[in-house]
Structure 1
Amino acid sequence: MRNVLKLFGAFAFVAVLAGGISQVAAHHSAAMFDFTKMLKLKGKVVEMRWVNPHVTITITGSPSADEAPADWLMETTSPGNLTRVGGWRRDIIKPGDEIEVTFHPEREAGKKSGLLREMKLLSTGEVFPANIRDQEKPGLE
């Protein structure tokens, strides 16, 4: 009977450990983004995915006039952080809306993605920050 309890305990420990490892492995760093560069892109929303751990927005546009429009994937923080940092909501944008985004591009040349820092709705001029770290600066209220 003792051996069965020890075996059950060992299996339970391994199961808990494996569950924790998968959660840690699922998260990635922002090292793939070039924080020395900041780009702007105007375009139309293709899709916004309001899911954890990161909200993503796909936009068709171009950061420069000499570049053909393409689909760009913008990564942000979590839905909860966006709600707290700048009044974001799940229904704030929809496919077809025209927006302008400020973002850090990926380090790898040719990648059409970035880390979103700010989004502006062109129809209203309303600006939505996406950088939770800006809220930690002293003197902000």
Structure 2
Amino acid sequence: MNLKMFMAGGLLGLGIASPAMAHHSFAMFDQTKIDTKTHATVTEFRFTNPHSFVVVSVNAGGVNTSYALECSSVNMMNKAGWKFNTLKPGDAVDVTFYPLRNGKPGGMLKTVKLADGRTLSGW
């Protein structure tokens, strides 16, 4: 009986720990710096768990660069005023974000300013 209880407890512990192990660190974002891109164009908005993503295209000097910006969970974003249809491909936005430490285009979304003047938090 004790062996069965021990095994059940071990399996329960693994089940609880697995989601925590799957969650990544935020060390990949440089939270001491903030980057801003104005007149960005939304190319994709993924309103999903565990993290949503906004992908924008920025034209600088005739060169388009895509930025994948990680956001919070659907639950947290709902509380901040986001909906599944807040952003659509083609929307013009201004974004502020914590850039990736490796210098690649992307980061963790801080805020997005919508065409109607609203500013929403990504975290």
Q: How would you bin the TM-score normalised by the shorter chain?
A: 0.7 to 0.9
C-alpha RMSD over aligned residues: 1.9
Q: Deviations over 1:12-50 (max 9, x none)?
A: 223212212211111122211112221112322121111
Aligned to 2:96: 102
| CA deviation string 1:78-132 (max 9, x = no partner) | 12212223x11111111221211111101112x121111110123x22221224x
Partner of 1:136: none
Aligned to 1:112: 105
Bigger relative contact order, structure 1 or 2 (CA pairs below 8 A, ≥6 apart): 2
Q: 1:15 and 1:47 mapped to 2: Cα distance? A: 39
Question: 1:52 is matched with which residue: 49, 54, 77?
Answer: 49
Report the AA paired with residue 56 of structure 1.
F
1:7 Cα deviation from its structure 2 partner: 4.4
- The structure in which a higher percent of residues are strand is 2
List alignment gaps of at least 5 residues for structure 2. Answer: none
* Aligned residue in 2 for 1:129: 121
TM-score when scaled to structure 1?
A: 0.75
Aligned-pair distance for 1:66? 4.2
Cα distance in 1, alignment partners of residues 65 and 55 from structure 2: 10
Aligned residues: 122
TM-score normalised according to structure 2 size: 0.84
Report the structure number with the largest CA radius of gyration: 1
SS of equivalent to 1:36: coil
Question: Does 1:25 pair with 2:21?
Answer: yes
Residue of structure 1 equivalent to 2:87 = 93
Residue identity (%): 33
Residue aligned with 2:63, SS: coil
Looking at structure 1, the residues matched to 20 and 97 of structure 2 have their Cα atoms a distance apart, in angstroms, of 26
Q: Which has the higher helix share?
A: 1
Q: Which residue of 2 aligns with 1:84?
A: 79
**Unmatched 5+ stretches in structure 1:** 132-141
